Structure formats: C-alpha cells, structure tokens
Structure 1
Amino acid sequence: MSERGIELRGVMPPEDSSPAGPGSGYEFRLLGPLEVLHGGERQPLGNSGVRSALACLLLEPNQVVSMDRLIDTLWGEKPPRTARTIIHGYISRLRKLLTPEGGTRGEENPEIVTRSPGYLLRIDSERIDAHRARSLINRAGNMEPAERSRVLGQALTLWRGPILADISSGRLHRMVVPNLDELRMMALEERIAADLELGRHRQLAVELPALVEQYPLRERLAGQLMLSYYRSGQRARAQDCYHSLRERLSDELGIDPGPDLRSLYERMLRDDESLLTPVRVVSGEGGGSGTGVVTHPAELPPRTAGFVGRKTELSALDRMLSEEEQGSPGMLAAVTGTAGVGKSALAVTWAHRVAHRFPDGQLHACLRGFDSESPPLSPGEALTGFLKTLGIADDVIPIDLQERAALYRSLLADRRVLILLDDARDADQIRPLLPSSTGSLVLVTSRRRLDGLVVRSGARTLPLETLPTSAAVELLDRAGVPGRSSSEPQAARELAELCGGLPLALRIAAARLAANPGRAVRELVGELTDERERLTALDIDDADASVRRAFDISYRNLHPSQAWTFRLLGLIPGHTFTTHAVAALCGTDPETARRRLRALTLAHLVSEPKQDRFAMHDLLRVYARELRASEDGGQDAETTNTALRGLLEHYLAASDHARRFLRPPRDELDFSGWKWAVPAISGREQALEWFDAEWSNLVAAIDTAADAGWNSVVWQLVRLQFNYLMVRCPWEDWVRIYSGGLEAARRADESSGRVLMLAGLGVVYSRSGAPEEALKYYAESYHLADSLPDPRKLAMTQVNMGSALFRLGRYPDARRHCEEALRTYREQKDRYGEAGALNNLAQVEQVTGNLSAAFGYLRKAEKRYREADDLEILAMVLNNCGEVSLELDRIDNARRYYGEALDVARQCGSTMRQAAAYMGLGDVASLREGPAAARRRWDTALSIFEAGGSPRAAESRARIERLESERGET
C-alpha cells in the first residue's frame, strides 16, 4: 500500500436517505479511536493488529484489499516471517466479531469475503462514519447556503477526537490521518463559507479567532476571519489578521500569502463595497476564497451532471497543481483512458474546482481526436479560435501557423489561464497550443497515453480507470432514478458490475431506467447478462452516447496486426493475461506479442496493471468477441479453435514447467518439449508466484477446454495443478476442477487420467476431514489401477488407501496396503515412492504403540523427501517426527523437529503445515514454558486452520478449551 494515502470509497446515499443511526445493526467509527457498535453497544476488538486490519478494510469497503497491502500497512518493509499467518488470524477474529449472536447473518450485516489476492469487506458504506461524512460533504456541494451549513455541521459532528488514536501502526497513521484531517478542515471551511453567505459574520468573528490560532497557516480560514471582521465593522482587525499571517508565512516558510488572500486584502484597502454583500458561491471540494471574483474568458463546458467518485484522481490533480506551482516553468497534465471512462467529466469537474486560481480566464477546445463524424481539429484551427476569444480580430490573425502560435504565446505571457484541450489525438496536435507563461495550466484528455508529450514536454499523466462498484451504483442513482439502488441493492450492484464500472455504460443504463421508472432493475440486469446482447442493450439513439460507437472509433485507428490481436484477446477466458499467453494465442513469439499489447495499451484498449501482465475491460472483451464474429466470418470456427488450442497448450506447458519447482511430478505428463515459450521461473518462490497470479486463469482455461469438448486437455491441465493445490489448499476449487477432470477422463475413456483424477479427489477429501468420502475415491482408483500394467500407479493408490484406512481406524488393512506399496516401490527402486509408504506405516505403528518402529520409518521417509526436495511433504514428516518424539518423552527433539517443520513450511508456502507446526510447538510449550506460551502458539494454529477451512481447527480449539478449563479449576 502506497504511503500516498488511502482513499475512501463509499456509496453516496440518495438525497432523501439518512445515515444509519445507533441501535440499527453495525456501526463503524474511524473518526476518532476505532470503534465497532452493534445495536448501539460497543464491541471488543482485540489488539492493535486486529484493529489495524479492520481499519484497512473499512477504509476501502466493497473493494479487495490485497494481502501484500495489509502486510505493508501493518509492518512496513520488515514484516515478520509469519505475517500472512498472523493476518489470517486477524481476519478469523474479525469474522467472529461480525457474526451476530446465534450465528446467522442477514443481508444488512457486514461480511469479510476472501477474494484473490486478499479480502473484501462487503458492507453498506453508510455504516462507516468516515464514508458517511464524505457523503454528507459531497451532498452539501450544490445546496443553498442554509441547508449546506446544516449538512456540513452534521458531518463535522462525526469527528470524535484524534483519528485512530488507539492504533499503533505508524504507516496507517501516515496514510490515513492527514487525509481525514484535511477532509474535516475542508468541511469546516465550507461550512464557514456558507455562514458567510448567510450574513452570519458577527457569530463567525467570535468563532474564527480560536480556529485561526489553532491552524495559523491555513490561508482560507484567515481570509474568512478577515471578511467576518470587515463585515462586522472591524477593518483594523481584518488588516492585522492579514499582516500576522504574512509575517508568519515569511518567518516559517519564506513565502508570501497566496493570490486569493492578497486580492481580498487589496479589495479591503480599496473599501470595495461588494465585500459587504454576501455572494452566493457554489460550494465544492477545495472551494474558492469566497470573494466572488469574476474571471474572463470563461469557456469551460458545464459541469457533468451526477459526477461521482474520483476522489483519488481529483486529489492527484490537486497535488500536481500544488507541486507545479512551486517553481515549475509551466503546468501540463494529461488525463488518459479508454473510451467512455469519464475523462472529460473528470477534467471539466476539476477545471471548475480550480478555475478561481486562474484569474485571467479559462480557454477550451474540443480537438475531435476521435470523432466519428468530423476530422481532428488542426492546431491552426484551435489557435484561431483561441486568438478570437482573446480579442484578436479576424483580419489581424496571422496566416502562418508558427506566427499564430507566437502571437498566442505573447498574449498569454503575463497571464494565469487554464486551457482545457479535450479529446486530443496525439502530442503533435497539442504542442502548438502550449503557452510559454509560467502561471498557466494546460489540461489534456485523450484515449491515447501521449508518451511523446511526457518525454518532450514534461507532461504529468493521470491514467483513468473504471469506477469501483460502490461509486458505480451511486452514478446509477444520480443519473437515473434517485433511490432505486436502495430498493434493489443487489440488482443495482449486479448492474454496475455488468457495466464494468464504465461511466458511459452506467449513464446509458441509468437513462434506460429513468425512461421507464416502473421497470425493475432486475429486468435490465437480465437483459445485460446475455453477452451477445449486452452492447446492443447499451446503445441509445444518440450515436455520441453509444458504448459500441465509442469503442469503434478507438478500434478503427489500429494497425491491422494490432486489430487482429485485439479480436483474439476476446477469446481469453481469464481476466488477466501475459505476453506468453498472448503469443500462444496468436501463434507468435512473446516479444512480438508484447509489442502489440503495448500498442493496444497506448490506445487504452488494454491495460497493464502490473509489468507484463495485461487486462481488458469486460465490455471491451464483449466488443472484441463481436468483432470476431462479424469480421472474421466463416473462418471464425477454425481460427478460434487454433487460437484456443495454442492458449491451452501454453497453460499446459507453463503449468508443467512451474509445478516441477514445487514437488517432483508423480505422473507421466511432460510438456517440456512443446513449442510455446514458458515464463522465466527458476525457483520455488517464483513458481508459487506464477500459480498465484494465474490461478483464476487456469481454472477458467479448464472450463474453456471442457466447453470445447477437449477432454484429454481438461484432465491433463487439472493434474498439472496438483502440486500447487497441495501447497495452497483452495478446497472448493480443488473439488470443482478435479470433479470436472474426472468426468473428462471418463468421456475420453483414458484410464490413466481416471486414476489420477480419482486419487486427487481422494486427497482433497482426506485433507479436508472426510475420510469416508476419500476412501470411496481411493478405492475406485485402486481397483482401476489394479487392471493397468503400471505397478507404480497401483502402489500410489495403495499408499492412498493406507492413509484413508488409517484415519478410519482400520489399522490392519492400512498396514497391508502400505507394506504392499513399499515392496513394489523397492522393486522399482523408487525411493521417493518408498517415502510415502514409510510415512503411512509410521502412523500405523505409532497408533498401535510401536513408537520406536514408527520413529525409524519416519527418519527414513525424512531422508528420502530431503533427497527429492519435496518441502511440503517433508514439513509433514517433520511434524510427525515431533509428535512421536513427544510421545517418547524426547521434548528437546520434539521442539527441534517442530521448529524445522515450521521453517520448511514457510519456505514452501504451506500454511496448513505451518499451523500443524505451531500446534506441536504449543504442545512442547505446555510441558516446558508454561500455559501462556502454549496458548499463543495454539491460538496461531487455530487462526490458520480456521482461515483455511481445515478440520484440524477442532484440535487446536480443544487444546485451548482444556487449558482454560484447567485454569478455572486452579
């Protein structure tokens, strides 16, 4: 998480809604010490770490907060080695906190959802005071002064003291507190501005001196105090206030008061009569000085109705302006993004907010860079329009472009002007329109990235992304039928997601709802759910407001090879993709694929959220699929199959390559000789990172292969995920893809695949605490392997049978299967296979009281797993060694084995093995270090097991309950 601040992303309620009040479910308070209330009663939150994790989720409700961001926020650059484990524990405790008594959860209750790559807090953001405050402040923006003052006063009451005062995370404080403090000050200054408009200057002359003393460098507060003094007839005190601030700024910062305050002071010296009359000023974030200065020219287009969200982007533009004003020779900023993402709306909204800082006026030109009806506006035409606006007669405007540009620069040389250049095609169209004055600002919008403008002209760029779901729902409400989202909240969220957070699509959907107020949101959701009709449903009669038309303009400007690649990208089943995947899809090499993707990124038809990992907006994906059907015609089926085959072959080759760094493969599958380039993976950590990043794509690829009827590809791709599944244990995905893999192997009538799929299902049910179900799959796998000529496959199934039979207490049967497997592996000279049989035999010997024999088997298994570098199973065996050592009363040995098991589990990334090690270390601590140390380790184990949905949570919980019971007896 960046130290530049966490933005609050909340849904603004309809105008007639009221914030959730005490006693109505959950309330969350960030504007002071962190508090959680349920039914008006304060809830216990636990230690500072738990509170910090909750604060992170509350600051971004209904958005995924990644595990990496949580770790970075809580610990910074030096997190503990168990950071992920600790956070799993925090989330587990928070989930308990958010579960009402009785264990039932209603739709209105918040819920923490595991969502790759982290967690998402699903909640009505109006129940969070910080988001409620921002909503009230936003709502106040265009109200009449009396109502604005009242609503802003209501927002200010939500601050209860120092923000997050009870949280120790310094990084969280640095990222959050300044933003929320500034939000409060902005609301306070806006409320004072409203009171000045109402003529309440005498009351303010009493209130403001203390505030100015508390915040002596805030120029707007000082200006408001000056105005209240002046209107109260205290002109000398007004001037003293100005001189005091000027001296303080000079002494402490070496600067003079800003232009707004200087202008106000000069008007007071002139006894400007307009200062005595309150001026109606439309309030907005950042505001103005409230002095009512009129500026010309004023060519900015009207504000976009229903503009929502974009707090992060508006703040980024504010920062750009502040940084540029501190001595830069000129200001140039570019807002870029895909068609319909709201670039112009953001630029116009922000330009209105800061227009008061450019007293010599605002110029505007639509450059028509991507206009379907008209050619782009030439620089010469734009200059002619600007010169006329600046008072130059037609017959005086030079014919030569360079002379026109020189005259334009001369006219602006000593002026502070804001110039908005909308819909630019490229940097060449913009450069002649740049003034040379140090005080002017040029703000550009474009569908292209304008890298040339960055390199040659020093432009600051702001790439614009789609709206998060909460803001998207808010836009639907504002642009459509107010209050609709509160009557159908789930449908409204689904509609926002189907529109992909694209403002243009959201406005069209809102218009369709507004045109038929009686129509349910759910009906429109049903219409948009069909991908084949989605873009048609987002078309209206106005060609300028069509999603398909907006995409067409960007697409038609592509080179043929880029356009062909774009159409193929619609076939990718996952949400992100790499250059290697696209190379296989297009039948080319990764470098060529990278060049094409970068070109599509420049056109904002594709995004690059991480280096060499690309993504495409959902509606653009639908558009690309439509283009394939319309432009590729009869070749579509053949080219589609070829492209999809290439993509799936890439996933086969890459999965096979990556899995070999996690554990030795135990099957005959080998895709190392395939023609597709594989990602550069050279170690276990990189392999896990690749699987983590690609997991959702791999699951989607399996589904795609199944839909295409490529049954062999399905079960082979499923099998290649086994080593990753053993480490990460995503239980639901595991069961789902292996069940599909089994069906595919049966349809393909491939016995080897059936054996492996049955075995994989047995493993997941065994590890998730269902040995009866596991035995059913293991037995079918065993009987099938018995008919095959491969003795190793039969031995593998017997090791599995031994494991399930042991868990069911059928020890003689378990021993028989393990001993037969051990003989087979020794005959085949398969030392790795021996290890599994030895480990299972050790468990049988342990439970039947032959501890020395059990320990001997385990030591042999340990040696073989070390040879194979199978860290995940080695960690399990080391934990087993610790357990047997405890039973042999070898406490020091047990501590050593459990400690090494923990280290090995961390190396391979297996949280379940870490939890088992913590549980064993707790057992050791209960004998040597005391109950407090034991409780800490059992608590950690419990948190990890619960977070992973493991049945072994019951073992940790039983130990803790026994400890509590023993304490009670003493």
Structure 2
Amino acid sequence: MSPQESPARAPSTGFEFRVLGPLEVLADGELIPIGSSSVRGILACLLLEPNQIVPMDRLIDTLWADAPPASARTIIHGYISRLRKLFAEHAGDGSGNPEIVTRPPGYVLQVDADRVDAHRARALVNHAYGLEPAERSRVLTEALRLWRGPVLADISASPLHRMVGPNLDELRLLALEERVAADLDMGRHHHLVVELSTLVEQYPLRERLTGQLMLASYRAGHRAEAQARYHVLRRRLSGELGIDPGPELRNLYERLLRDDDTLLSPQQRQAATGTAQVRVGRPIPAELPPAVVGFVGRDRECAALDRLLAQRERGSANPLAVLTGTAGVGKSALAVTWAHRVARSFPDGQLYASLRGFDSDRAPLAPGEALTSMLKTLGVAADAIPVDLDDRTALYRSLLADRRVLVLLDNARDSEQVRPLLPGNSESLVLVTSRRRLDGLVVRSGAYVLPLETLPTETAVELLDRAGTPGKSASEPMAARELAELCGGLPLALRIAAARLAANPARGVADLVHELTDERNRLHALDIDDADTSVRRAFDISYRNLHPVHASTFRLLGLIPGHTFTGHAVAALCGTDPPSARRRLRALALAHLITEPGSDRFGMHDLLRVYARDLLGATDGQQTISRGELSPDDDAALRRLLHYYLVTADHARRFLRPARDELDFSGDDTPRPEITGRAEALEWFDAEWSNLVAAVRVANGEGMHELAWPLARLQFNYLMVRCPWEDWVQIYSDGLDSARAIGDGVGKLLMSAGLGVAYSRSGQPEAALTHYAESHAEAQSTGDPALLALTQVNMGAVLFRLGRYEEAQVHCREALQAYRTLGDRYREAGALNNLAQVEQVNGNLEEALAHLREAEAMYREADDLETLAMVLNNCGEVSIELGRVEEGERYHHEALDVAQRCGSLERQAAAYRGLGEAASSRGDRSVARTRWETALTIFETVGSHRAEEVRERLRDLPTTS
C-alpha cells in the first residue's frame, strides 16, 4: 500500500453497513429493510464487534437492560434467524457476504470490517497518523464524511447506544481535532478561525479545540482574541467543574503572553513542547526499553492511563497504576509504548526496572537490588549507597522529592516487591505490570488497577500483519481472522504466529490455521526457536508459581467440557465444598489464569484451557500417560463433575414438568445451587445449557455411557419448554449412541423416543416415525406395559400427523387402556389428548372435547403447565369448530396465560393462533390479523414449522372488512 493510499474504501458491490447515523444496510448500493427495532439493535451490536464473539448476555442487555423476559435467549435466536435469512436473500455471487455463526457463548458476525462504516472510519483515523499534513487532512476529512448524523440515531433509547455512542462520538471529535491540527500545520489558520469558533461554541469544555482556536487566532493576528478565549474557558471550567485548564493549555497561554516565536513554526513548536531546562549536575535518566515494533490497539487502556496522567497533573489522582493480565497479554508492551508516548511529560527522566517476578531462570529482583541500580542512575556513587533497605528507600525518595519522573516497574511478583520502590511525592508517576492483581497496592497505596483483556479479532489481525509479513493477512482475510481466533487474541501467540509466517514466506495463513486447529498440537505450534518466546513457557511460569492446591485445581479445569463454570461445578470436580472451590477459583483469578465475568461464573482463555488439558495426567510437569487418555484420578474427577450435572439437572427439571422416567437423584447429597421454583430452574438451565450439551458429548466420547444417556434424558423437560432443536437432536443422538454401546434397553427406548419428539415438534414426522418405531420395538422386547404404553402414545401422535388415523386410533386406545389398568392418571392424560385429535379429525367433536377436558383436569393435578397449555389450546380449537366461539376464546386466553407462566413460546404462539381463529369466526378481521401476526412472529422466533400455517391464514385474510 502506498503512503498516499487510504486503507479503507466503501465497497462498490455486496453489503455495506452504516451505524454512524441511522442504522442502514445496503446491498449493491440499495437500501434494504432490516425489520423491527429489536432486530436492528441485535444487528448493531454484532456490527460494532465484527468477527469476534458477542456473548448472548450482551445481546440480552442490549435489548432489555436489567429486565429481560424469561424467554430472552429464545427470542434472540429468532432474531438471529431473521438476520441470517435477510443476508441470504440479498447475498451476491462473489465473496464478502456476511454470515452470522453460532460460537459459544454467543454469535460471531463474519464480515469484512471495511464494509462497516464505523470500522472504516477508525481505520482511516489510524492510517492518518504519521502522514504528511496535506495527506493527513485529506484522509481525516474522508473519515469525517462517514458520519451522517447522531450515531445509531434510530435506536437511541437502547442500552447499546448509551454504551457505544459516546465512544464513536469521541472518535469523530478526535478525527476532527486531528484534521484541524493538520490544517494548522499547513498554515490554514485564517480559514480555521471561523470553523473553530463554531466548534468551540458546540463543545465549550473541549480544551484542545479551544487551544487550536487560540493558536489559529494568534497566527491570524488576533492576539487579544486568542488570550480572551483562554479566560472564557478558565471561568467556565472553574464555575462548572471546579478545575483549572490543563497544563498544555496553560503552557500555550503563557507562550502567547510572551509572544513566543516558536508559536509561528509547527516544527519548532513540536520540539519545544514539554521541554524543560536541564538542571546542572543532575543526571536525567532515560532507561525505557525500546518501543515495541508493530504495537496496535489498546486505545481504551491508553485513554485510561491518559486520564490518570491528567488527573495527576491536577493533583486529584494517586500517581500509581498497575497493569495486570494473564501471561502474554501484552502488559509490558503497553506499558513501554505508553511510557514512550508521555515521556515528555516527565522532564526529570524515566526509570525502569525489570523485577523478574515470573522469570523461570532467575529469582525475582529484590527491592534492595532495584534501589541500588536506580540510585546509581540518579547519580549516587556506589560507596554512598546505604546498606539498610529502609535507608536506601529514604534516599531514593529524597532524590525524587522535587523531581517529575516516570518509574516503570515491569513484571512484579507481589506488592511487597513494589512498595519500597514507590517515590514519596505526587509529581512522579509509577507504572507497574504484573500477572497478579496486586490488591495490596490497592488497599495500602491506592493504586489504580487496569486489567488487560485479549485483543478483539480485528485488532489481532492487524497485529499479525504488522508483526509479520505486511499484506499477508489481507491476502487471506478469512484465514487471518480464524488464525487470530485460534490464538485467542493473545498478543504473544499472535506475534509467534506472525513470526512463523514471516520465517516461511511461501507458507499460507491457511496452512498455519490447519496446524493450529488440532488442540493437541496448538501450543507446540506456538513455540519458536527462541527458548524465552513460547506461549507454553509463559503459562508454565505462571502455573509453577501456584500453590499446589491451586495448581491441582487449575489442571482439573481442563476437564470441564464447556466454556464457563461455577463454584458448585468446580467443587464437584475437585471433591471439595463450594466455598473452598470459590476460594481456589478467586486465587486463580488473582493470578489471571481464569476470569470471573459474572457472579459465581468463571471462564478461561482458550489457550489456557488447552494448556490445562495438556497438564492432565502430569506430575511435576512431566507427562505420565499418553495424550488423549485420562489418569484414574482425572477419570474420577470428570465422573464427579458429570454426576453433579445429573443431580442438579434432575432437581431443576422437576420444577418444569413432572418427571416421566425412573431416573431419580433427589436423595443424593452432592452440593448443588439453591433452586426453589420454576423461574430459577429455567435460569439455571439457560445459564448451563452449553455446558450440559458439551457434558453429554464428552461423557459419550470418554466411554462413560452409563452417565451420558441419563444426562441427556434429564434435559427433556427443559427441551420441551425452550425447544432448541439442533441441541436437542445432538444430545439425544449422543445419548442413543451411549445406550446402544452398553445395551441399555430403557436408555435406547427413551433416547429414541426423545429424538422422535424433537423431529415431530420441528415438523419432520417421517423422521419422527423412524425413531418412535425403534422405541416401540424396544418396548415390546422389554414386556413392560408402562413402557409399551409410552411408545404407543408417541406412535399414535406421529401416525396422526401422517394422516394414518386408523392406526393412530388403535395405538391411542391401547395406551389409554394400559394406563387406566396401571392407574397412571398423568400418562393417561397424554393418551386422551392424542385420542381426542383422532376423534376430532373423524368429526366426533363432542367426544374429542370430552377427552380433552378429562386430560385438562389430570394435567392440572400434575401441575404440568407446558402440557396443560397445549391441551387448553386443543380445547379452544375444538370448541370453535363446534361453533362455541366465546368458550373457545376463553380456553385460548387461559392457554396464553399458562404458557407465559411456564415460559413456553410455542404454546403462546398457538394460543395467539387460536385467538385469531376466534376473531375470524366473529368476522373481526382486524383483530384476527393482529393476533395471527403475533403468532407468526413467535413461531418464527422459535423456528417452528407451524409458522407456515399462520402465513397461509394471513394470505387468505381479506385486506378489507
């Protein structure tokens, strides 16, 4: 790319997304409708973080803030489906079509970042740095043109706007100020006076804009106006905020008063800004390591440090900051980069000490050693340095008492190592980096702690490009994004990956992606010949510094199938109690080996998870068994975890619907979360769902078949309420594999039956019949009348859907007789409901309604709300068919209320569908349309095949009454 070439251009074909103003989506230059405000909000949230995982919790917060409905996750699934359909309808033949990919714990919008105006604007602003003034002004003007009005103007009431709007507004103001600076460098001060006067009226507290207006006015010969602008701002800041203008503006004002001739030359001004007279006889240390090559991102963190520096200038902040984060996250790189950037603010120099807190070859640097080195740098003769540590500290603080020094303490082990190295004055600033949080410095010294997270995908790809072969990532954009994700956004891993690509120019990015895809080889692939540069080595040092109990806990975390975990789950895994497990987890969080994104909800970086799994079966760092096997202790730990899921899922499911099998863990004393009602049960299943799906898969894969199929079965009541079809089929297929592997007849019967329910409810009756028939054959082989009746109820239901009414009736009647003989009223209700459907289609409506009313009473006894809602809807349907419209409407209204109480969206949609039928029967087409449109929206949200029935009714409904 030539220096004059901007890095980002609006796409001429395909999709373009605009958030810098009202949200707009264009396909081949044409605006396309997006849909409701909620769908727009979800799309905006994904667009602002393209090519990286946007967690489900953040999407929920975007739409509902602190008051999400119980069915929030299901509703969002529906919105995502609509967006996928929208993209598919307008997709072009070439590349660049956006795609929304499910990636736990949320979704990823895979799209070229240049197709999103906000990211194009940020790229242009970043590209402008370092360009010649004329080109810089041109590029920044191009960026500013992308703003079409207030950011996300059409969804301004959402939490999303309140969260990202200020950041994008700040980006615009930054671009504006930088463009003005470039114009000043080109001598356009006469033109700028008018523009800046308007801008200062709009942003009266923006000090940089006022300073630029003062400078433009001074250069234009308006000396008195330039000085007056300063006093206007000073009075306003004092009156509204109780503060004075910052040091840069004060410095500019003083130079205006002196008629400093350097104000007339941008080059001289840059050289003079922030300089100070060098004191004779005082060494000015300049110990900062070289700036990091290819440093990218960290705008938020740099801004936070800038604010701390500004507050320190005003005397309102403690001059001590701690950068913390996991190994390889880039703490030192950020600290050194920022220190170089602000070095001019510290005219008395910069001190640096590598404290070696996590060095595998050398012991941590003692505070006394660090003080000796820094005292020598400050001009103290070796024989004049005190022996006692306290005396050394006192001399160090005395020397810095009237100096303005930046002290960078890299790789600290703990607070005690840092405390003697803190200056006693507030003029100097200390920046510390550590893999630990150093809470002691917060409590005793008031430190400001800034935790570093991994890089977002877009920034990670930029780092790959800068640290490796320029342009290589751009030549394989999708592979580069996948490589960034496999590195987990960890800067150390990204730099190693870039080095490997640079070392072999013929190697493609996709080749390295293929190598890293296998988790068993990923950490090995992120090693290079330099022994000190290795992701595994960085993790090893952190791991070996753990207390043995914490090290054992971290290693066992590699067994957890899902992406997050709770104190209760880890207690089961480690064979301890939940309070002890939480103490261990918080110790690991302090060491930045895990994260705590929510209350009692923990997670791990992907590479740390791979590292923990590599440690399984190892003793003192040595692998004792072959990779892929589990030691007896690890096998027992995994079984404890799976058993915990069995116990808790069994407890929670009983609040949703009655248990319809012989699985019962109610007498087990395994500690589990407090779940006392339906809402809490649904909340637990929602939060743990991805873990439960992964747990069934792992149990099957590890040969723990006696645990796999029961764990799948225990999710049935939740599946009936939430209906996540893909997950349903996956876990029951895994469960069926396990039941077959150990020849468990009941397991095979229940897994086949569950698959039949999934296919039947998702509109695939032929597939459902296959599984129901397998289940029925298994029941016949057992000779158990209860199991046989269960499968006959299912057979009757699916044969009815296939139009084989006589066969359906036989199965339903035989099941009904069996349950009456067994005295099982709950299951008798299911047979009655299915038999009623057969009678209804045969025209025996009164008999059908009688069966349904019997079933209704039985489901009320059992407090099975989800199935009660279904039967009430069926009662309403038959009543309307009998001409009893008011009675049918009452049934549907009650069904809606019951469905809302139990959280079943599909039953709610069916109720609205029935209410529409009632309105249509009365001739009230307007009400019918409204109710059917509501039903259609909900059916589409849950992905139900019944949506087409409602579409047909809406199509057939006349547009006028």
Q: Distance in 2 between matches of 1:376 and 1:42?
A: 61
Matched, 1:665 2:654: no
Q: 1:270 matched to which residue of 2?
A: 258
Amino acid at match of 1:176: V
Amino acid at match of 1:454: V
1:291-315: CA deviation from partner (whole Å, max 9, x where unpaired): 4646965444333222223334344
Q: How far did residue 243 of structure 1 move?
A: 2.5
1:476·1:506 contact (CA, 8 Å) conserved in 2? Answer: yes
Q: Distance in 1 between matches of 2:10 and 2:862?
A: 61
Q: How far did residue 447 of structure 1 move?
A: 0.5
Q: 2:281 matched to which residue of 1?
A: none
Q: How far did residue 421 of structure 1 move?
A: 1.9
1:193·1:290 contact (CA, 8 Å) conserved in 2? Answer: no
What is the DSSP-based 3-state SS (H/G/I as helix, E as strand, rest coil) of the residue aligned with 2:142?
helix
Amino acid at match of 1:34: L
Amino acid at match of 1:36: V
Q: Distance in 2 between matches of 1:563 and 1:609?
A: 21
1:422·1:445 contact (CA, 8 Å) conserved in 2? Answer: yes
Matched, 1:495 2:487: no
Q: How far did residue 575 of structure 1 move?
A: 1.9
Q: Distance in 1 between matches of 2:952 and 2:2?
A: 46
Change beyond 3 A, Cα 1:236–1:316:
closer
Change beyond 3 A, Cα 1:624–1:34:
closer
Q: How far did residue 877 of structure 1 move?
A: 1.5
Q: 2:421 matched to which residue of 1?
A: 433
2:714 to 708, 717, 720: 720
Q: Distance in 2 between matches of 1:407 and 1:899?
A: 82
Bigger drift between 381-390 and 687-696 goes to 381-390
Q: 2:514 matched to which residue of 1?
A: 526
1:473 to 432, 457, 461: 461
2:353·2:409 contact (CA, 8 Å) conserved in 1? Answer: yes
2:48 to 43, 59, 66: 59
Q: How far did residue 537 of structure 1 move?
A: 1.6
1:424·1:445 contact (CA, 8 Å) conserved in 2? Answer: yes
Q: Distance in 2 between matches of 1:479 and 1:500?
A: 16
Percent of paired sites with the same residue: 69
Q: 1:6 matched to which residue of 2?
A: none
2:152 to 151, 161, 164: 164
Q: 2:936 matched to which residue of 1?
A: 942
Q: 1:236 matched to which residue of 2?
A: 224
Q: How far did residue 676 of structure 1 move?
A: 3.1
Alignment of 1:560-959 (within 5 A): 560-631=548-619, 634=624, 637-674=631-668, 676-927=670-921, 930-959=924-953
2:181 to 193, 218, 223: 193
Change beyond 3 A, Cα 1:849–1:351:
farther
2:189·2:219 contact (CA, 8 Å) conserved in 1? Answer: yes
Change beyond 3 A, Cα 1:327–1:916:
farther
2:74·2:941 contact (CA, 8 Å) conserved in 1? Answer: no
Q: How far did residue 556 of structure 1 move?
A: 1.3
1:14·1:482 contact (CA, 8 Å) conserved in 2? Answer: no
1:540 to 516, 521, 528: 528
1:275·1:291 contact (CA, 8 Å) conserved in 2? Answer: no
1:611-646: CA deviation from partner (whole Å, max 9, x where unpaired): 222222222233233333542655763223222222
1:919·1:956 contact (CA, 8 Å) conserved in 2? Answer: yes
Q: 1:99 matched to which residue of 2?
A: 88
Change beyond 3 A, Cα 1:176–1:112:
same
1:75·1:169 contact (CA, 8 Å) conserved in 2? Answer: no
Amino acid at match of 1:369: G
Q: 1:42 matched to which residue of 2?
A: 31
What is the DSSP-based 3-state SS (H/G/I as helix, E as strand, rest coil) of the residue aligned with 1:849?
coil
What is the DSSP-based 3-state SS (H/G/I as helix, E as strand, rest coil) of the residue aligned with 1:543?
coil
1:702·1:718 contact (CA, 8 Å) conserved in 2? Answer: yes
2:79·2:941 contact (CA, 8 Å) conserved in 1? Answer: no
Q: Distance in 1 between matches of 2:484 and 2:2?
A: 16
Q: 2:280 matched to which residue of 1?
A: none
Change beyond 3 A, Cα 1:346–1:163:
same
Change beyond 3 A, Cα 1:17–1:807:
farther
Change beyond 3 A, Cα 1:290–1:107:
farther
Q: Distance in 2 between matches of 1:667 and 1:14?
A: 71
Q: How far did residue 106 of structure 1 move?
A: 5.8
Change beyond 3 A, Cα 1:94–1:700:
closer
Q: 2:473 matched to which residue of 1?
A: 485
Matched, 1:182 2:170: yes
Amino acid at match of 2:363: P
Alignment of 1:112-511 (within 5 A): 112-116=100-104, 118-169=106-157, 171-279=159-267, 291=273, 293=275, 297-318=285-306, 328=316, 330-355=318-343, 358=346, 360-511=348-499
1:88·1:943 contact (CA, 8 Å) conserved in 2? Answer: no
1:197·1:280 contact (CA, 8 Å) conserved in 2? Answer: no
Change beyond 3 A, Cα 1:804–1:48:
closer
Q: 1:967 matched to which residue of 2?
A: 959
2:274·2:344 contact (CA, 8 Å) conserved in 1? Answer: no
Bigger drift between 671-680 and 334-343 goes to 671-680
Q: How far did residue 67 of structure 1 move?
A: 4.7
1:14·1:477 contact (CA, 8 Å) conserved in 2? Answer: no
1:551·1:620 contact (CA, 8 Å) conserved in 2? Answer: yes
Q: How far did residue 324 of structure 1 move?
A: 6.5
Q: 1:19 matched to which residue of 2?
A: 8
Q: Distance in 2 between matches of 1:75 and 1:379?
A: 51
Q: How far did residue 431 of structure 1 move?
A: 1.7
C-alpha root-mean-square deviation of aligned residues, in Å?
2.9
Runs (5+) with no aligned partner, structure 2: 278-283
2:4·2:135 contact (CA, 8 Å) conserved in 1? Answer: no
Q: Distance in 1 between matches of 2:922 and 2:396?
A: 84
Q: How far did residue 446 of structure 1 move?
A: 0.8
1:72-119: CA deviation from partner (whole Å, max 9, x where unpaired): 334444567876676566545444432334x77765112334555554
Change beyond 3 A, Cα 1:276–1:836:
same
Q: Distance in 2 between matches of 1:922 and 1:330?
A: 65
Change beyond 3 A, Cα 1:929–1:242:
farther
1:434·1:442 contact (CA, 8 Å) conserved in 2? Answer: yes
Q: How far did residue 514 of structure 1 move?
A: 0.8
- How many residues matched? 949
Change beyond 3 A, Cα 1:924–1:334:
farther
Q: Distance in 2 between matches of 1:911 and 1:871?
A: 12
What is the DSSP-based 3-state SS (H/G/I as helix, E as strand, rest coil) of the residue aligned with 1:786?
helix
Amino acid at match of 1:659: R
Amino acid at match of 1:139: H
1:768·1:951 contact (CA, 8 Å) conserved in 2? Answer: yes
1:242-280: CA deviation from partner (whole Å, max 9, x where unpaired): 223223333443432111111111122223333222128
2:367·2:418 contact (CA, 8 Å) conserved in 1? Answer: yes
Runs (5+) with no aligned partner, structure 1: 1-11, 283-288
Change beyond 3 A, Cα 1:105–1:695:
farther
2:324·2:435 contact (CA, 8 Å) conserved in 1? Answer: yes
Change beyond 3 A, Cα 1:478–1:907:
farther
- State the TM-score, normalized to the length of structure 2: 0.92
Amino acid at match of 1:367: L
Change beyond 3 A, Cα 1:188–1:961:
same
Q: Distance in 2 between matches of 1:13 and 1:56?
A: 33
Q: 1:4 matched to which residue of 2?
A: none
